[in-house]
A and B are shown apart, each in its own frame.
Chain A
């Protein structure tokens, strides 16, 4: 009996090793490398975009935010600076948002509210905080450092005809888990361009929390192989609320002066 159990353990270990070897075979790169490529694939040198964000509640009632955004990759190739102006709805029209990202620290953020007539420095958001009332959190939009998570390649499978790596990402420590609000993420990453097509999020208690689908992938910087998903939909499975973010117009590689990313840019109504 004891011999049978030991044999079973050994067989089990061999099967697990085979599965791991299969995942790490030449055709299947390391999970961390895949997520690193995913992290960089949307880092466009400069971008001007008009976006529409639809907030749809569980009864189908829709609210709409239209914004225009200007962003530029900083010299370190990781952080971006961006200016966002809200065009609609009427009561927040003219609101401006400036963010200077710092991958190794808290981002610098300012908001300009036309009614206040002055810019106000904001406290850096927790990554789990909602982005302007939507179902996207700040951490969903500005991805955390790759090494803040442990990544495991689960399998490969096709989504909408595209071969994808399926990768599970678990926060490396409790702080990251608490800050992100996630105990686990499962991402479907396209094998050909490393852009995600689907991400499933689990809350800190391990329950299914949100699902994001990213579609209409567009190659925007051919020389650096940078891609953008022109449509992203995030569904909160616990509330039934969803947010659809669509790029209506994009311009890539435009010249942007560094002086653009100052509070005076957001103070122009």
Chain B
């Protein structure tokens, strides 16, 4: 299956006009191929071929030096004047050099029906909520793959099969409903050498997730309020009675959130806040995640021609806080500590800051960005410089690195073994 998929994608890539023209043979079959290509282009065909190098894996397995190949293909077919769709898939082998496994991911595959004042979308889809930059407490609907060996944050997203209904109440106000019985958690790094039992909720209608958002976009201020009932995309880790493995549980959560964006002259201000009601509402289970408040607020401004500076403060407050280090049972304490690190609950209140500085030169052919995230409690940080150069409209190269600092039992310090440089060559078609 994987080999066939690769062959299909290679054949597709080889049929691009740019590559066909290099042969210099304008034969009839080539014309037919071009017609077929043209038809596919009319259906919104696009995609990319990517070669990547990563110094380290993004799993906690101490594996290094990955040369990967990825093809991503997108099709945007129109079924009628009011119904269209999208199919986007990725086939990747993150370790071609060492005979790694090729695997495919259907990122999105949905149909959208457009009515006069509403839009209904059904199928596998990515839904991204929240107006803050990169850190979105209200974004709990569809998962991320934090282990994928591709350079950009957008590469981490993949869809869930769901139904979304947007009701356009006015030109500026929208009421959105979302529901899915097919919960799919995020993929995240797990410590090598430990066995985990994944205990995700069964895919039944009784376990359906649901969300609603009232959104206003336009005028001087954009804002929304939202509510989500479903399961945490990140798992809690629980010790099993046998002691031989750990269990991954995805607690039920209820999230009430709000966000806003407004400009003050040359400054753009964004804020987002969410209250998470977890299963352990009263903080009685020392392992389980407690209810918490999670907020982000920041500003951005562009200086000179293209120098953009974006600063955000991040804060969490934990309700019914208990110190995981105070738990007597070592196995329970270890699990409680892991959960506290993953959910930012090592202290009752915790604060952090993000800074993203970017610039563009030479008519936007050269772009550079420095992203930094610092947690002030148990000082730990993440730093990612990134440089991208566009050789042509189709070909780009990206170089970057990820650096983690801090104690091993801190949110960023735990990933120190994953730090290293990466590079990507990308051909877009």
Contact = CB atoms under 8 A, between A and B. Distances in A.
B171 A269 contact: no
A117 B390 CA distance: 23
B193 interface: no
B28 interface: no
A160 interface: no
A90 B48 contact: yes
A263 interface: yes
A263 B300 CA distance: 21
Contacts of B76: 269
Given A117-B157, A258-B171, A123 B219 contact: no
B306 A129 contact: yes
Contacts of A126: 266, 302
Contacts of A135: 363
A57 B366 CA distance: 13
B115 to A, nearest CB: 12
A64 B47 CA distance: 18
Given A64-B393, A108-B218, A118-B129, 11 more contacts: A57-B362, A88-B393, A89-B394, A90-B47, A90-B429, A117-B157, A120-B261, A121-B261, A262-B172, A262-B217, A263-B217
Interface string A114-139: 01111111111110111011110000
B46 A90 contact: yes
A264 B168 contact: yes
Contacts of B390: 63
Contacts of A120: 131, 261
A26 interface: no
B263 A124 contact: yes
A129 B261 CA distance: 22
5 contacts: A90-B428, A93-B46, A108-B220, A120-B261, A134-B363
B331 to A, nearest CB: 40
Interface in A126-155: 126, 128-130, 132-135
A91 interface: yes
Interface of B: 44, 46-48, 76, 86, 119, 126-131, 152, 154, 157, 166, 168, 171-172, 174, 217-220, 222, 261-263, 265-268, 300-302, 305-306, 360, 362-365, 390, 392-394, 396, 426, 428-429
Contact of B305 (A90, A118, A128): A128
Nearest to B76: A269
A108 B268 CA distance: 11
Interface of A: 55, 57, 61, 63-64, 88-91, 93, 100, 106, 108, 110, 115-126, 128-130, 132-135, 241, 258-259, 261-264, 269
A132 B364 contact: yes
Contact of A121 (B47, B127, B263): B263
B363 A124 contact: no
Contacts of A100: 218
Contacts of A122: 268
B154 A115 contact: yes
Nearest to A241: B363
Nearest to A134: B363
B46 A123 contact: no
Contacts of A55: 363
A133 B266 contact: no
Given A119-B217, A129-B305, A134-B363, A89 B428 contact: yes
Residue with the greatest number of chain B CB neighbours at <10 A, chosen from A110, A123, A132, A241: A123
B268 to A, nearest CB: 4
A164 to B, nearest CB: 30
Given A121-B222, A262-B172, A90 B364 contact: no
A89 B390 CA distance: 12
A130 B363 contact: yes
A61 B394 CA distance: 13
Contacts of B119: 264
Contact of A90 (B220, B268, B393): B393
Contacts of A262: 171-172, 217-218
Given A63-B392, A123-B300, A258-B171, A117 B263 contact: no
B301 A264 contact: no
Contacts of B218: 100, 108, 262-263
B272 to A, nearest CB: 12
Nearest to A269: B76
A181 B282 CA distance: 60
A123 B48 contact: no
A231 to B, nearest CB: 20
B44 A269 contact: yes
- Of A91, A100, A124, A125, which is in contact with the most chain B CB atoms at under 10 Å from its CB? A91
B396 A91 contact: yes
B305 A130 contact: yes
A53 B129 CA distance: 33
A31 to B, nearest CB: 30
Contacts of A264: 119, 166, 168, 174
B305 A259 contact: no
Contacts of A63: 365, 390, 392-393
Contacts of A132: 364
Contacts of A117: 126-128, 157
Listed from nearest, the 7 A-B pairs whose CB atoms lie closest are A133-B364, A89-B393, A115-B154, A90-B428, A117-B128, A123-B268, A91-B428
